[in-house]
Amino acid sequence: MPGVADLAWMLTSSVDPARWAEVIAAYGPAGEPDRALPATVVQGLLSLADATAGSAAAMDWISRLDAAARRTRLT
């Protein structure tokens, strides 16, 4: 699962959620990051802790973390 974990982190940390399906499809048949997303949400929350509240960086993190949580039914 290391490759899938890398994909999940890449999605959560730097890809607009609107493009996730495209990135997962490009990754190939092994691109099933849903099982790894909960761990990346935790990692992302730690990264969000360094962002200034209300900043563009914070809002980007929140958007991606929310998408990951919805995708894995964490909300």
- For 38-52, write each residue's pLDDT tens digit: 888 888 888 888 888
* Torsional sign, CA 26, 31, 32, 37: negative
Comparison of pLDDT for 35 and 1, the residue scoring more: 35
Contact 60, 52 (CB under 8 A): no
Contact 8, 65 (CB under 8 A): no
Per the listing, tokens 């974990």 go with 5
37: closest CA among 55, 26, 24?
24
Please check the confidence at residue 75 and state whether its pLDDT lies above 60.
no
The pLDDT score that the predictor gives to residue 68 is: 86
The pLDDT score that the predictor gives to residue 41 is: 82
The pLDDT score that the predictor gives to residue 27 is: 82
Please, what is the Cα angle at 59 between 2 and 55, to 5 degrees?
Answer: 125
